[in-house]
Structure 1
């Protein structure tokens, strides 16, 4: 497998860097939102728990009362708030004296110990309103609310209501786990989406790089033969003064051909880049083929048979196709004669060489396919296919009758505009 070019490797690294940056940014945003949600939920659950025990304690404190120094708690036996309380007790303290449990439907072990009761009573006397205290009872930390009951101008009793925050904490822990899993899934999804979007965004750049590399390869393929021929002509002319005039004429002809090649290459590059559309004009296909083959430096082994044929096409690109097909046949035909025929909408080039395996007939038209069947550089037949597609035509290879290879370019018939 051919390793990617440095430019393509840099683009791929940039794609991964973009993906990681996208995922990291998403992760930071989700983390900030998750922390905010966790803290908000924690405060909300704590407030709900405090408000619940506070409302229950205040409601029960209004149910009991002092009359001539006697605390009446009979109404609690039928009060739904008292009957449904998770932990509930009524404290009473003489003046002076330590608070004692006056009424406790809840088991004594589920209530604070005496030191806890003293702490609660001390805070009630200090604040003189409902207080909240977290104390351990029955081996668990319980949230308590104590509402005062007034006996004249002093606090004579208090209603104590407790709630276990474990259930609320368990729900909070479940929320934290779900947020963690959800954020992880969203980060992975964001990374996948970011990778997909960055790949789509870089696809034109990768396509442009591929076209640039292909253009350079095709330019080298197209210019190599005429440049080598030009060098030989100049060397022969400089070696013998008698051959100089003929060499100069041949050099001028090759320079003209090079100019047309460069023009064609630039036009093809602009077409592939999308900056220029190909212009198809009516032309004599038979004359174009004959002229192109005459300009080839090694055309002595090529025989041409033509009949008048008109197609809509680009002359430079079609001439380039003819050169590639004929040069491919000369190079890989094993020195055998090459026969070129032109009929309506068809150019056929046949050699008498070893041919190409049937399984490779389509593959040799692909870009970067190397080997004898593709012209050695992986560009010649690929150019042929590309030009054929631009002209809404097709190309094909097939075994020639009697041996050899038959390469054909099929073009749509000429239509007047």
Structure 2
């Protein structure tokens, strides 16, 4: 597993930061929405409970009346559907010079509040002169929500109808809603984190690929320029050490500088093509002449023999020159000092050495982009550039073992169309 470069590591950290920010923002929004939903549900359930007990208490209060003798008639409570379906029902009445007394209860008096609470409810109804809503604990220890509706005796409140409802079922449903909201929000936050991580990964993929291409290009540029720069240094040092060879060294230095210029031009062209800022310009050219000129510009072309036929292909001369040079230099480097044979025929450039060869299982890996590798299998970035140039021209590359030892590397290009 290759280690990440500092720039790639920063991009990956930025991805995690963006994922966390996206998740935190989502969690914050969900928390606000869940809070609003919980508050709205709680208020709605309270209002529903208030309306239910108020309507029941008001309806029952209208069924009660005082007869001409001043007696509160409770006969209707035995037949009224509102009374029969009530959870808790009570009727309070005041007599002259007495406080409120319980006249009727259902299901039992223990379901009503204690006397102190009853007195407070009575005082509230007397003060408000309308139906009062309270929540209090009954004598049996259970909490009820009460509605107290006044029953008028001429111009005074003579009695009060108490209707109670147990808020526990509504509270239990509210608690279940909170649990569902918490579970749902947690699931949504996790989904948002996963989606955010996936989206940030996709959005950063072009940047990571661009960074990888840039680093690969720098490695390939260093690989391409290292040999001619080293050769140029040796030539200059030899010319400085032996003045009588200065003129020859100067001519060689100029030739190497020209080669470096072509290398830089080719590197820039490849960088622009890979970045998508420049299209490959394919022009008809003599492949045999391009190969001959490329071999002549090598630092030591004496160990290379060339056999060519006149071949015309469509291609980019800078890129094809770079590919051919890499093929030949790779054969010189990994051929163990053996002669290298170059042939051009039928849009095919073949470079053969007589070295130890490349094992079959490493021939595909030889075209992968990497900077260094074992001497037996690694070819640096040279062959990777050859394959890239071939594919850019619609061609391909191939490595094979020759019968009498050595490696045969081939650059295969499509035929030139005369039309």
Structures share fold, TM-score greater than 0.5: yes
Q: 1:410 Cα shift?
A: 1.1
Which of the residues 199, 207, 210 maps onto 1:208? 210
Q: 1:114 Cα shift?
A: 2.1
Q: 1:270 Cα shift?
A: 0.9
Cα RMSD of the aligned pairs, angstroms, is 1.6
Bigger Cα displacement from structure 2, 203-212 vs 281-290: 203-212
Q: 2:198, 2:25 → 1: CA distance?
A: 16
The change in CA–CA distance for 1:369 and 1:252 in structure 2 (over 3 A counts) is closer
Q: 1:374, 1:153 → 2: CA distance?
A: 114
Q: 1:44, 1:374 → 2: CA distance?
A: 79
1:248 is the counterpart of 2:250: yes
- 2:121 is paired with a residue whose SS is helix
The change in CA–CA distance for 1:374 and 1:51 in structure 2 (over 3 A counts) is farther
Q: 1:323 Cα shift?
A: 1.0
Structure 2 length-normalised TM: 0.96
- 1:355 is paired with a residue whose SS is coil
The change in CA–CA distance for 1:302 and 1:375 in structure 2 (over 3 A counts) is farther
Q: Summarize deviations over 1:117-144 as a string: whole Å, max 9, x none.
A: 2221121112111011111122211101
Q: Summarize deviations over 1:302-349 as a string: whole Å, max 9, x none.
A: 111111211111111111111111111111111111111111121111
Conservation of the 8 A alpha-carbon contact between 1:90 and 1:102? yes
Conservation of the 8 A alpha-carbon contact between 2:219 and 2:371? no
Report the number of matched residues. 417
Q: 1:29, 1:230 → 2: CA distance?
A: 65
Q: 2:357, 2:156 → 1: CA distance?
A: 116
Q: 1:11, 1:282 → 2: CA distance?
A: 43
Q: 2:83, 2:415 → 1: CA distance?
A: 100
Matches within 5 A, 1:214-363: 214-363=216-365
Q: 1:365, 1:373 → 2: CA distance?
A: 14
Q: 1:415, 1:177 → 2: CA distance?
A: 73
Q: 2:90, 2:359 → 1: CA distance?
A: 98
Q: 2:381, 2:226 → 1: CA distance?
A: 13
Conservation of the 8 A alpha-carbon contact between 1:365 and 1:374? no
Conservation of the 8 A alpha-carbon contact between 2:366 and 2:378? no
Conservation of the 8 A alpha-carbon contact between 2:60 and 2:83? yes
In structure 1, the residue matched to 2:30 is 30
Q: 1:245 Cα shift?
A: 2.4
The change in CA–CA distance for 1:166 and 1:299 in structure 2 (over 3 A counts) is same
Q: Summarize deviations over 1:139-173 as a string: whole Å, max 9, x none.
A: 21110101000111211111110001000001111
The change in CA–CA distance for 1:330 and 1:368 in structure 2 (over 3 A counts) is same
Q: 1:198 Cα shift?
A: 1.5
Conservation of the 8 A alpha-carbon contact between 2:23 and 2:193? yes
In structure 1, the residue matched to 2:12 is 12
Q: 2:392, 2:79 → 1: CA distance?
A: 95
Q: 2:94, 2:380 → 1: CA distance?
A: 103
Specify every segment of 5 or more residues in structure 2 that has no aligned partner in the other structure, as ranges.
none
Q: 2:225, 2:286 → 1: CA distance?
A: 25
In structure 2, the residue matched to 1:132 is 133
- 1:304 is paired with a residue whose SS is strand
Q: 1:372 Cα shift?
A: 4.1
Q: 2:208, 2:250 → 1: CA distance?
A: 44
The change in CA–CA distance for 1:374 and 1:107 in structure 2 (over 3 A counts) is farther
In structure 1, the residue matched to 2:409 is 407
Runs of 4+ in 1 over 6 A off after TM superposition: none
- 2:133 is paired with a residue whose SS is strand
In structure 1, the residue matched to 2:108 is 107
1:97 is the counterpart of 2:98: yes
Conservation of the 8 A alpha-carbon contact between 1:364 and 1:374? no
Q: Summarize deviations over 1:171-224 as a string: whole Å, max 9, x none.
A: 111111111111111111111111122122222221221111111111111111
- 1:85 is paired with a residue whose SS is coil
Conservation of the 8 A alpha-carbon contact between 2:88 and 2:111? yes
Q: 2:118, 2:349 → 1: CA distance?
A: 108
Q: 1:369 Cα shift?
A: 6.1
Bigger Cα displacement from structure 2, 396-405 vs 4-13: 396-405
Specify every segment of 5 or more residues in structure 1 that has no aligned partner in the other structure, as ranges.
none
Bigger Cα displacement from structure 2, 103-112 vs 406-415: 103-112
